[in-house]
Amino acid sequence: MGTKCSKCLAKDDYPTNKKQSLIELPSHIENSLKDSILQLSSDYSFLTFDKILNKHPNNPDILISFASQLYEKGLTIQANECFKYLLERDFQLSPKGSVIYAQILIQNKNYDLAFKILIQNLDNVSNDHETHALLAELYAKLDKHNQSYKHISEAIKLNDNIAEYHNSYGLCMMKKKEYNDALKHFLRAYDLDNNMAKALNNAGNAYRKLGSIAEAIKCYNLAINLIPKRKFPIALINIATICFYTGDILSMLQYFEEALQTGCNIHKIMVKKGYHLLFKNPKTKFAIELFHKQEYRKSIVLFNEILQKDPYNTIVNYYMAISLTEINKNLEANDYYKATIENGLKPICAGKKFIRHYVKLAVKALNKQIPKTNIKTCEEIPEVDEDSENSTINIGAVEVFKVRAESLSKPYQPRSQESPTDSPIDTSIEESEEKCLVM
């Protein structure tokens, strides 16, 4: 007979490869589980679950171990089915099995059942640090930070050598505004796991809250370098934020753009904070760069073009206004300052500190330009907790300037005879989404 083809050889090797990939199991179930693992389909797409149940219908140890292996291999759906089968038949989950099933439930946002499983496990094994840590994570997701703090503290008492626990404890301290304690635990997490980029990023946030900007930037850069392929976009955003508040706008744009181009689903965070307004149109970044290079007339042409497609963009309206101010077109500028205020006070924008900054600048500019005897002065916009997602500005006595629709619906026509050239733009933005904390 001829030699076997590559597909036949792969089929012959399949059971051997699967056996070698098994984790070490207790001796009394090892052989049975090795038999069961062979029921996995060769293309990994599904599990011949019925055959395994028929072979071991009343042996929960085998099914729990098997389900745990499936989860560790990334076969979460199949693992979930195994655990559901066990619970439907009133089998008692082991402590390890309870933790793994709770992790699956949390991923699926089935928080009620996850709570039930973890509390039952805690009743049986009160000193299980993994259960306490998962309960802390679950309470944090539900914004119940006191309960989260209680359980993560207990987890650390039971096991002080797990980096994830110290990182979670640090996040609790950040919520309590105890930044020195938070920093201590973030650095402890990094000591325990030198690859934990998020601990360094969080340490950078703590340093920033303590006013140590240089140390914050150092932590962010270390976090970025730990993930060379993705460059850790959250740390890039945090550096961009520092650049913004220190007035380095060109560097801010560079870091924001680099974060967007990582391709790791960062766009939702940009929208949540209001940073996306800088990149809704690929020409916005270039126009702002022109403004900061004092090429005001060129920037006005681009801002005008952008506003024809996106007239409610708070940041572009502000830059249009200030560009006009720089060439002494104050009356035209006032309409755009008013548009900045009106759009920035809308509920969709009002809770975003980044946007509020531009609203305040517009208020200040208007109060300088327009005599106070002719208008009602805009009061200072109240502060809102920057950590609040759903916070809104209470306008109170603030009078929102109404922008004349007709003045903004027409393209701006410079009165000067100069005709600034429109430089070509070649900027692409990749929209994506990622689950990660800005904290």
- Distance, in Å, from the CA atom of 297 to the CA atom of 287, rounded to the nearest integer, reads 10
C-alpha radius of gyration, the chain, whole number: 29
pLDDT at 178 (0 to 100): 94
Nearest to 97, CA basis, from 127, 121, 129, 124: 121
Burial class (CB in 10 A: 0-12, 13-18, 19+), 421: exposed
Q: What is the tally of helices (H) and strands (E) in the chain?
A: 23, 0
Answer for the pair 362, 378: CB distance below 8 angstroms, yes or no: no
- Distance, in Å, from the CA atom of 422 to the CA atom of 417, rounded to the nearest integer, reads 15
Answer for the pair 155, 133: CB distance below 8 angstroms, yes or no: yes
- Distance, in Å, from the CA atom of 9 to the CA atom of 38, rounded to the nearest integer, reads 17
CA dihedral (249, 252, 258, 263) positive or negative: negative
| SS3 at position 246 | coil
- Parent domain of 376: 293-409
- Distance, in Å, from the CA atom of 301 to the CA atom of 125, rounded to the nearest integer, reads 68
Residue 329 lies in a domain: yes
- Distance, in Å, from the CA atom of 67 to the CA atom of 72, rounded to the nearest integer, reads 9
The pTM (predicted TM-score) of the whole model is 0.67
Residues in contact with 143: Cβ distance below 8 Å, sequence separation at least 6, in sequence order: none
Strands of 28-99, DSSP E? none
Helix axes 129-141, 111-124, angle to 10 degrees: 150
Number of domain units in the chain? 1
Residue 121 lies in a domain: no
pLDDT at 51 (0 to 100): 64
Phi, psi of 40, deg, nearest 5: -60, 140
**Length of the chain, please?**
439
> What are the structure tokens assigned to 408, written together?
């903004």
Question: What amino acid occupies position 29?
Answer: I
Give the mean pLDDT per block of 10 residues along the chain (439 residues): 48 39 41 46 44 66 75 78 78 81 85 86 84 88 88 91 94 94 96 93 94 93 83 87 89 89 77 87 92 93 93 94 92 92 85 88 85 43 35 32 37 36 26 35
Residues in contact with 231: Cβ distance below 8 Å, sequence separation at least 6, in sequence order: 224, 258, 259, 262
> What are the structure tokens assigned to 28, written together?
């009394």
Residues in contact with 348: Cβ distance below 8 Å, sequence separation at least 6, in sequence order: none
Residue 252 lies in a domain: no
Task: Name beta bridge partners: 266.
Answer: 433
pLDDT at 290 (0 to 100): 93
Helix H segments across 21-144?
A: 27-37, 49-55, 60-72, 76-88, 95-107, 111-124, 129-141
pLDDT at 373 (0 to 100): 34
260 alpha-carbon distance from chain centroid: 12
Residue 353 lies in a domain: yes
- Distance, in Å, from the CA atom of 342 to the CA atom of 324, rounded to the nearest integer, reads 19
Residue 325 lies in a domain: yes
pLDDT at 307 (0 to 100): 94
pLDDT at 50 (0 to 100): 60
Answer for the pair 318, 336: CB distance below 8 angstroms, yes or no: yes
Residue 313 lies in a domain: yes
Residue 114 lies in a domain: no
Nearest to 38, CA basis, from 13, 67, 15: 15
pLDDT at 174 (0 to 100): 94
Residue 72 lies in a domain: no
| SS3 at position 174 | helix
